[in-house]
Amino acid sequence: MSLIEILGICFGGNSAPSRQASYLSADEASNMPLDAFLQRSLESAPSALEQNGAFADIFQKHIQGGADAAKIVRIVQDVLARLAGNDTDRATTQWACQVLGILAQGNDNERENRGCYQPPQMPATNYAQAVGTDNNGWQTQESKQRPQQQKKSGDDNVYIRSYFFPSEDSFNALINFIEAANSTLDICVFNITDNDVARAIGDAKKRGVNVRIITDDEQLKCQGNDVERMREQYGIPFKTDSDPSKFMHSKFAIIDRRAIWTGSYNWTVSARRSNNESAICTNDPNTAKAYSQEFETLWKQF
């Protein structure tokens, strides 16, 4: 059932008995995770409307924290479908419309600000300057949350660096990693919804880097997914697992077949701004070779 059909039911004179809505205070709502806040505020819509400003501020904070818009819409649809049909539910519908309106406004603001992000400038005149030893400019982008670990090796240029999220320093390290690609950029991730990441990938393609993407087939259907858009806008090829019974859940990238980025981190806004995620980056030759071979195996398989 579509959202329009659900709203139609709410306004459509259903003769179901009136539902008694429970009271929800703004203080209680402010301590709820997003899922519970949406469900309880819709179930207690008269309370939300009475405290409209406070509830709008709570929801806006969830959006600013990287809330998944598609997930919000699904929750709203489910609750409306369950509750629709009487006078109390008209208030539910009114509050639901405000929820979606706030969400749309937040998305519009994000679109307006997309051109404002400027990752720290780092002259990548060659690969060593971009991702080589610890005394180069990229090291200054390391996460402040944990000390970086230098791999003990006979080759002083071999490193392993750790990054933790949410952290803009860690995110900047990912952007700089992508920008350091000279010839190839192979990406194998579950989902890409962060427009800043998509822009960095597109810029790599425009400067002549051979870019390929492997991703999960179901994630292509999610609101905000950037993979198909990058193919249309930049000509970047991609492949999916094409199997709805399982996930393509790997999360790694290889630049120039010499350095890799991998970890729990999905390339999404929520992972960047709100999730507890981790990643490592290394130019260890054996590790880079293994990940390159895995990418080629998946590329042929899919």
Instruction: Please check whether residue 58 is in contact with residue 26, taking contact to mean a CB–CB distance below 8 angstroms.
Output: yes
Is the pTM above the cut of 0.75?
Answer: no
Instruction: Please check whether residue 185 is in contact with residue 127, taking contact to mean a CB–CB distance below 8 angstroms.
Output: no
**Residues recognised as catalytic:** 249, 251, 256
Cβ-in-10-Å burial (0-12, 13-18, 19+) of 227 comes to buried
d(CA 261, CA 251): 8
End-to-end CA distance of the chain: 33
DSSP per position, 171-196:
HHHHHHHHHT-SSEEEEE-S-B--HH
pLDDT one-digit tens code per residue, 28-79: 888 888 888 888 888 887 878 888 788 888 888 887 777 777 678 777 777 7
Residue keyed to tokens 């006078």: 87
Instruction: Please check whether residue 143 is in contact with residue 163, taking contact to mean a CB–CB distance below 8 angstroms.
Output: yes
Q: Which domains does the chain have, with CATH numbers?
A: 3-114 (no CATH), 120-301 (3.30.870.10)
Is the predicted pLDDT of residue 126 greater than 70, yes or no?
A: no
d(CA 279, CA 22): 44
pLDDT one-digit tens code per residue, 145-187: 444 444 444 556 899 999 999 999 999 999 999 999 999 999 9
